[in-house]
Amino acid sequence: MKREVKGRFLIILTAIILSVLFLLPSTPLYSILPDWWGTIFPDKGITLGLDLRGGMHLILEVEGEKAVENAIERNMASLKDALKDEEITISSIQREGREISFSFDSGDNEKITELLDDKYASLVTSREESGEKVLTFRKSEEKRILDMATLQALETIRNRIDEFGVTEPLIQQQGANQILIQLPGVKEPERAIELIGKTAQLEFKLINETSALLNQFPSRLNPEEAEQFFDEFKDKIDPEDEILFGRNVDKDTGDVTKTPYLVKKQAVLAGDLLTDARVSFGEFNDPYVSITFDPLGSKLFEKVTDENRRRRLAIVLDKSVKSAPRIQEKISGGQAQITGTFTTQEANDLAIFLRAGALPAPVRIIQNVTVGPSLGKDSIQKGLIAGLFGSLMVVIFMVVYYRLSGLLADIAMALNLILLFGALAALNATLTLPGIAGIILTAGLAVDANVLILERIREELRAGRPVRLAIDAGYSKAFSSIFDSNVTTLITGFALFMFGTGPIKGFAVTLSLGVMINLFTSLVGTKVVYDLINGRKRLEHLSI
């Protein structure tokens, strides 16, 4: 065997062995292999996509308007403190929609204008009268907040899904404020929706325990009575306070009640200063969430607990009081606990929310499709039948029309598929129904390339050339046609991958990989077999 032929043969053999090794985890055979196999050889294979495996398909819309209102709220709180620091007295300050309005002594107008120009460049005065200003965001700032709300929501949802443990999720922005999510294999769709859609704004707020109204607050309410209670008291409380509810679940009966709390609107600490959150268990095996603040959060938490000893501090998640412990002493070290009537799963979900961060704005589900696994099985079965039937027809045709050379082309097609599946497994690619279509199309292209080669060889044999020279000339003359057609298909595949989404990308991946492998198998794989045969004995006749 010539060294050149031997080298090409070893390359093909190595490619086949590697493909089989990478493909094994995707086959039932992997379950009977010893445990040590996965520590040495690849342990991940091809993942089935949503259309084959079943799962969830969601389209969420980010309510960016709420993000703008939240930003205005934060600016109002900051402006209030800044005016106080500058010793400017204001008689009122409030937010209405996207506007901040406040009243002041008209003599302070110049100082206020200076303060706004220096520290609040994103705000602009929309209306002004003597002793009153109305501020709103500049248009450019509003656009930035809206754009960032979608991007931040995308990143937060991706973090939450990673924590949830879904393999091969598809999460991408769609349009200006929509997010496309596909979760293959999810078996708890309701829990997944809860995890994805919860805003998870964590705040620490002091409880007002001095109001006379507290004497009229019941200790527990039925859920249906809570709204009526809120409507009765919302206009009676101080403008700086608000009514929030805590949820209680009776462990024995499962009955749910609500506890009303009168808390300060202004949060003393926010959840964005957390660095970690994890589930722990108490003395009676009750789960709670242990949280850790960053250095800034640690200092603020220490200061808050030092200045408010003997007062109750409400831990509020999305306007719901999770717990309201009384501060006994200054807490240093930046660690705290969120206790409540949690189940272990609820505590785990809360820890995921806190680790992944809060959504910058609420999200609304505008499309929710759950694909059942039976649909995936049907799709796989029909796809396999179509592929096997098509392949069988091609194999028979090639053997009948090109005889032994046709059988060699069939082997090349099979080799093409083995290498293609091996490459997909090596990339841990997700196989979808369009991906299967790309594989079947690739098989057709592999046969097409071999037909071109075999027809050129036939022409050379009819012209009276010896077999070895006819084979060399056939490959040489077919090369440019095969190369050109495959390269143009490859360019199309890259374009589909670059600009397509979801299923189109799946089709583009299998098509592009298949085309590249097809070039290798048709021009190198079959040729090395002819060279091996010719190297052993001089062929007088070629079955073609």
| C-alpha span between 460 and 262 (Å, rounded) | 94
In this structure, what DSSP letter does residue 327 have? P
Residue type, 121: A
Residue type, 87: E
Contact 168, 371 (CB under 8 A): no
In this structure, what DSSP letter does residue 521 have? I
The pTM (predicted TM-score) of the whole model is: 0.63
Query: Edge to edge, what strands does the sheet with 320-323 contain?
Result: 256-264, 241-249, 320-323, 313-317, 202-206, 269-270
Of residues 322, 238, 305, the one with CA closest to residue 269: 305
Contacts of 314 (CB under 8 A, 6+ apart): 204, 205, 206, 207, 244, 261, 263, 321, 323, 324
| C-alpha span between 51 and 377 (Å, rounded) | 9
In this predicted structure, what is the pLDDT of residue 245?
A: 92
Residue type, 5: V
What residues pair up with 135 in beta bridges, in sequence order? 100, 125
What residues pair up with 397 in beta bridges, in sequence order? none
Contact 161, 171 (CB under 8 A): yes
Contact 514, 435 (CB under 8 A): no
In this predicted structure, what is the pLDDT of residue 379?
A: 65
| C-alpha span between 288 and 344 (Å, rounded) | 8
In this predicted structure, what is the pLDDT of residue 499?
A: 81
In this predicted structure, what is the pLDDT of residue 61?
A: 92
Of residues 361, 421, 468, the one with CA closest to residue 61: 361
One DSSP character per residue, 412-440 reads HHHHHHHHHHHHHHHTTPEE-HHHHHHHH
Taking phi over 0 as left and psi of -120 to 50 as alpha, with beta for the rest, 479 belongs to: alpha
- 168-173's contacts with Cβ under 8 Å and 24+ in sequence apart are 168/47, 168/49, 168/428, 168/430, 170/50, 170/430, 170/502, 172/501
In this predicted structure, what is the pLDDT of residue 263?
A: 93
Phi first, then psi: give them for residue 120, nearest 5 degrees. -130, 60
Q: What is the pLDDT along the chain (544 residues), one digit of tens a residue?
A: 566 778 888 888 999 999 999 988 888 888 888 888 878 888 888 877 777 777 888 899 998 888 888 888 878 878 888 888 888 888 888 888 888 888 888 888 888 888 888 888 888 888 888 888 899 999 998 888 888 889 888 888 888 888 777 766 888 888 888 998 888 878 788 888 888 888 788 888 999 988 888 888 888 888 888 888 888 888 888 888 899 998 888 777 778 889 999 999 888 888 778 888 888 888 778 888 888 888 888 888 888 889 998 899 998 888 888 888 888 888 888 888 887 777 888 888 888 878 877 788 888 889 888 876 655 566 667 777 877 887 788 889 888 988 888 888 888 888 888 999 999 888 888 787 788 888 888 888 888 888 888 899 888 888 888 888 888 888 888 888 888 888 888 898 888 888 876 678 778 888 899 889 988 888 888 888 888 877 767 767 777 7
Write down the residue that tokens 């200061």 correspond to: 303
- Diameter over CA atoms, the chain: 112
One DSSP character per residue, 466-488 reads -HHHHHHHHHHHHHHHHHHHHHH
Q: Give the three-state DSSP class for 402.
A: helix
Contact 517, 423 (CB under 8 A): yes
| C-alpha span between 321 and 339 (Å, rounded) | 11
Buried b (16+ CB within 10 A) or exposed e, 24-37: bbbeeebeeeeeee
Describe the crossing of helices 373-426 and 3-23 by its angle, rounded to 10 degrees.
150
| C-alpha span between 217 and 229 (Å, rounded) | 9
In this structure, what DSSP letter does residue 271 have? G
The CA-based dihedral angle spanning residues 350, 355, 359, 360, taken in that order and rounded to the nearest 10 degrees: 130
Buried b (16+ CB within 10 A) or exposed e, 461-487: beeebebbebbbbbbebbbeebeeebe
